[in-house]
Amino acid sequence: MNYSLLITGSPTESRACHSALDFAEAAVANGDNTIQGIFFYKEAVAIASSLAMPPRDECNIRDEWSAFAKQHNIPLYVCIAAALRRGQLNEAEAKRHEVEHFNLADAYQLEGLGSLVSLTLESDRIMRFK
């Protein structure tokens, strides 16, 4: 089965990002499943901030998602409108908005809702974690 994941829950205030990662790892461990892409929306976009530093005794869910995505060649999409609203920019958006700094972590890419629509159309199932 070909899945896509939509994550809307905050990485610090909910277990959505953790549960989605657990699901994704289990799905690809079963050789019959693939994951088309991961789309972070609403409060979940906070996961992509390179400036967020969890305590040392807690897992760094941002880095865990990055490692998983690189290992399995799965894109990590962050809703551009939700990210900009929350002060998260990549280098191109920082230049476009004439801001000196950017803070989007390397493994994540800003995308519009059209990418979510594409994921939905290209997948057998879309799983939402909120």
Positions marked catalytic = 79
How many whole angstroms separate alpha carbon 75 and alpha carbon 54?
A: 23
Task: Name the residue type at position 49.
Answer: S
Q: Can you list the pairs that 99-104 forms with residues at least 24 positions away whose Cβ atoms lie under 8 Å? A: 103/49, 103/50, 103/51, 104/48, 104/49, 104/50, 104/78
How many whole angstroms separate alpha carbon 17 and alpha carbon 40?
A: 9
Q: Name which of 1, 8, 74 is nearest 41 in CA terms.
A: 8
Cβ distance 11 to 78 under 8 Å?
Answer: no
